[in-house]
Structure 1
Amino acid sequence: MLVAMILITGATGTIGSLVLSALRQHGAEVRTMTRDPERLAATSALSAEQIVRGDLDQPESLPAALAGVDTVFLLTAFGPRLPEQEQNLVAAATTAGVQRIVKLSAISTGEDPTGTRPADWHLPGEQAVRGSGLAWTVLRPAGFASNALQWAESVRAGLPVPNTSGTGAQGVVDPRDVAEVATAALLSPEHDGTVYTLTGPETLSVPDQTAVLAAELDRPVPVVEVDLATVRQQMLAAGMDESIVKVTEYGLDQFRRGDADFVTDDVQRVLGRPALSFAAWVREHRAAFENGD
């Protein structure tokens, strides 16, 4: 097991917070990078020494954040600036003497890039990590089970869940599995030079997922079909950037075509146990969908 300073970017998000918690349970030396250290210090149990200021859009802020760091967990907010931000971090990490980077990417990254797929925004960062000369691991997860939380308000109110991907299915993965695999890669060189595609144990469409919710809640969870033209209209009306809209359209079309309808055994290979099911995630988060009656 590695015993060195680990820097986490994106530590306040779903995966980052789980990785941070797991690393602390392992007794690892951890540092988190944020644009606003004071805000993070006020809302977390981290000490001031565990929080450093760094902004992926400001390369000059990164050397101080990386000083004394051996390993980086690279998790970047999804968006059109993601490629440049990750390239900034990798360049700074190489100069700072970092030894290892574990990057959270996205499923199907690097396969026939078109520039308009969600995974394509991750490709430059993957290329930078793999070409850096540092030890590296790349994690390519499928859609997170926790994405279902965006339906929670509708489910509580008995309103239909919007289905924007038709009958398309994907290997929905539990964030806890992603975080455990990331933690393993951060703590051991055993996973260096490996790309892991992380899925759950089965592929599920939106109707499949709502059926699991209905079974757990013991009441109907209706679904309403939403076509891509309507999705585009709604996103533009909400003021979303055209680049985000195009990438979302492409990703949803991928699901509809069945391009994500597969599973892997990478979670089991790393963790030595089967991947957690969507049903297990729902049981764990049932309260979020209950209407309180």
Structure 2
Amino acid sequence: MAATKILVTGATGATGSATVKELQQRGYEVRALAHRQDERSERLQQAGAEVVFGDLLDFEAVRSALKGIQRAYFVYPIRPGLVQATAQFAQAAKEVGVDAVVNMSQKSAREDSLSNSALQHWLAERVFDWSGLNVIHIRPTYFAEWLLYMAPMLKQGDTIYGPFTTGRHAPIAGEDQGRVIAGILSNPEPHRGKIYPLYGPVEHTYAEIAEIMGRVLGRTVRYQNVPIEKFAQITAQAAADRPQRNDAASMYAETDRLTSRAGNEYLMQHLGEVAIDHTNGLFAGTNNYVEEIGGRPPLSVEQFLLKHRSFFN
């Protein structure tokens, strides 16, 4: 085990940071790739990870990050460039003989998706498959961390807003995904070539989630469906003057500050299309993969909110 060194990309994000922690607890040496130096990357260093910095669109930076690595977790944010980043990562991984890669995809990834991002994820899966590497794709439904980025809305009233209607899904926490990723990377051969949809334990509508949120917070919380354009405006206003972060909880709310105008349009096009997919049931479902591979059942919405209640203070 000591001879196996694992690269975790997106290491300061919701799934990456959880994966680093889980792998370290299992005794693995971890190299963490972060986009920039900040308090989150410093925490990784203090916890014993080797932290390197670079952009997944920088081929030489990717090659450098993969030197001496045996296994890897690949995750790319919702912005243009995924297929290029995937091709570069796959090539660099082949050059150093990486024996397993866990690839973060999307539940909505498919060849006929109207979301540019979801289509790019499907193509990225195929690029990895063509590479001949041992790649395992995970396709999570919506992250539970979505609920945290809604917290600023509740500082301005009793309503959370979203582009979703009557669809249901079982939100899955980043830490639960981290355990699955670490479980696969600890023993990748049984998972060779597989695609794992990942879910939390119970499906809910957003109206039901608002009720659960209200119970946890001890206040009335309502949910209101709004068009994607209005949602973009609300999230930008709610995120105003809040600290920049680079995790799933703020990926969307801070899009104007974290991406270019083109990147923002790319993100909102994705959210508009997958909101329709959500209504049509594409994000629904549950299974036992989190417990079977990760070692314990996934957090419920209530458990997740209780654990992160401080976000709403």
TM interval, short-chain normalised: 0.7 to 0.9
Alignment partner for residue 274 of structure 2, among 251, 256, 261?
Answer: 251
- Contact 2:168/2:281 (8 A) holds in 1: yes
- Contact 1:7/1:33 (8 A) holds in 2: yes
Separation in 1, partners of 2:231, 2:219: 27
**The 10-residue stretch of structure 1 (266-275 or 15-24) with the greater mean CA deviation from structure 2:** 266-275
- Contact 1:19/1:180 (8 A) holds in 2: yes
Report the Cα offset of residue 131 of structure 1: 2.2
Alignment partner for residue 260 of structure 1, among 273, 279, 283?
Answer: 283
**The 10-residue stretch of structure 1 (160-169 or 180-189) with the greater mean CA deviation from structure 2:** 160-169
Separation in 1, partners of 2:132, 2:117: 26
Separation in 1, partners of 2:296, 2:40: 35
Separation in 1, partners of 2:52, 2:296: 35
Matched, 1:92 2:92: yes
Report the Cα offset of residue 157 of structure 1: 4.1
Alignment of 1:24-173 (within 5 A): 24-36=24-36, 39=38, 43-46=42-45, 50-110=50-110, 112-114=111-113, 116-173=115-172
**The 10-residue stretch of structure 1 (10-19 or 147-156) with the greater mean CA deviation from structure 2:** 147-156
Residue type of the partner of 2:6? I
* 1:178 alignment partner in structure 2: 177
Query: Runs ≥4 in structure 1, deviation > 3 angstroms?
Result: 38-42, 156-159, 228-240, 271-274
Residue type of the partner of 2:61? S
Separation in 1, partners of 2:312, 2:55: 35
Alignment partner for residue 301 of structure 2, among 278, 281, 285?
Answer: 278
Cα RMSD (Å): 2.7
* 2:205 alignment partner in structure 1: 205
Separation in 2, partners of 1:201, 1:109: 21
Residue type of the partner of 1:132? S
Give secondary structure in 2 for the equivalent of 1:46: helix
Report the Cα offset of residue 134 of structure 1: 1.9
Separation in 2, partners of 1:92, 1:181: 24
Give secondary structure in 2 for the equivalent of 1:173: coil
Give secondary structure in 1 for the equivalent of 2:169: coil
- Contact 1:235/1:245 (8 A) holds in 2: no
- Contact 1:118/1:250 (8 A) holds in 2: no
- Contact 2:162/2:231 (8 A) holds in 1: no
1:114-145 deviations in whole A, cap 9, x for unaligned? 35254222122211222222222111111111
Report the Cα offset of residue 234 of structure 1: 7.0
State the percentage of identical aligned residues.
26
1:31-86 deviations in whole A, cap 9, x for unaligned? 112344x5579733417981234332121222222111101110111212122112
- Contact 1:56/1:62 (8 A) holds in 2: yes
Give secondary structure in 1 for the equivalent of 2:197: strand
Separation in 1, partners of 2:235, 2:173: 27
- Contact 1:75/1:104 (8 A) holds in 2: yes
TM-score, L = length of structure 2 = 0.82
Structure 2 unpaired stretches of 5+: 238-255
- Contact 1:117/1:251 (8 A) holds in 2: no
1:220-253 deviations in whole A, cap 9, x for unaligned? 0122331245347779996743333322211111
**The 10-residue stretch of structure 1 (160-169 or 1-10) with the greater mean CA deviation from structure 2:** 1-10
Structure 1 unpaired stretches of 5+: none
Report the Cα offset of residue 269 of structure 1: 2.9
Separation in 2, partners of 1:55, 1:216: 38
**The 10-residue stretch of structure 1 (11-20 or 199-208) with the greater mean CA deviation from structure 2:** 199-208
Pick closer, same or farther for the CA change 1:31–1:271 going to 2, 3 Å: closer
Residue type of the partner of 1:276? L
**The 10-residue stretch of structure 1 (203-212 or 49-58) with the greater mean CA deviation from structure 2:** 49-58
Residue type of the partner of 2:85? Q
Residue type of the partner of 2:73? F
Pick closer, same or farther for the CA change 1:199–1:49 going to 2, 3 Å: closer
Pick closer, same or farther for the CA change 1:15–1:49 going to 2, 3 Å: closer
Residue type of the partner of 1:201? P
- Contact 2:4/2:29 (8 A) holds in 1: yes
- Contact 1:109/1:122 (8 A) holds in 2: yes
Pick closer, same or farther for the CA change 1:214–1:197 going to 2, 3 Å: same
Pick closer, same or farther for the CA change 1:234–1:40 going to 2, 3 Å: closer
Give secondary structure in 2 for the equivalent of 1:230: helix
Residue-pair matches, total: 288
